[in-house]
Amino acid sequence: MLSIKNLQAKIGDKQILNGINLEVKPGEVHAIMGPNGSGKSTLASVLAGREEYEVTEGEVDFLGKNLLEMDPEVRAREGVFLAFQYPVEIPGVSTINFMKTAVNQIRAHRGLQALDAVSFLGLMKERMKLVEIDQSLLSRSLNEGFSGGEKKRNEIFQMAMLEPKLAILDETDSGLDIDALKIVSNGVNKLRNKSNAVIVVTHYQRLLDYIVPDFVHVLYKGKIVKSGTKDLALELEAKGYDWIKDEVAVEL
For residue 75, report the phi and psi dihedrals to the nearest 5 degrees. Answer: -60, -45
DSSP string for 159-209: HHHH--SEEEEESTTTT--HHHHHHHHHHHHHH--TT-EEEEE-SSSGGGG
Q: Which is nearer to other proteins, 106 or 232 (CB)?
A: 106
Q: Find the binding residues for other proteins in span 45-104 (CB under 8 A).
A: 48-51, 71-73, 75-77, 81-82, 84, 87-88, 90-93, 97-103
Q: Determine the Cα–Cα distance for residues 208 and 200; give it in Å rounded to an integer.
A: 8
- In angstroms, give the least distance from the CB of 7 to other proteins: 19
Write down the least CB distance from residue 100 to other proteins, Å. Answer: 8
How far does CA 239 lie from the centroid of its chain?
A: 26
Q: How far is CA 36 from the centre of its chain?
A: 17
Q: How far apart, in Å, do the first and last CA atoms of the chain sit? A: 32
Please say which residue, 84 or 220, places its beta carbon nearer to other proteins. 84
Minimum distance, C-beta of residue 77 to other proteins, in the bound complex (Å): 5
**Which H or E element spans position 151?**
helix 148-162
Please say which residue, 97 or 119, places its beta carbon nearer to other proteins.
Answer: 97
To the nearest whole angstrom, how small is the minimum distance from the Cβ of residue 91 to other proteins? 6
For the bound state, the minimum distance from the C-beta of residue 236 to other proteins, rounded and expressed in Å, comes to 29
Q: Which of 105, 119, 135, 193 binds other proteins (CB under 8 A)?
A: 105
**Sites of contact with other proteins (CB under 8 A):** 48-51, 71-73, 75-77, 81-82, 84, 87-88, 90-93, 97-103, 105-106, 109, 141, 158, 162
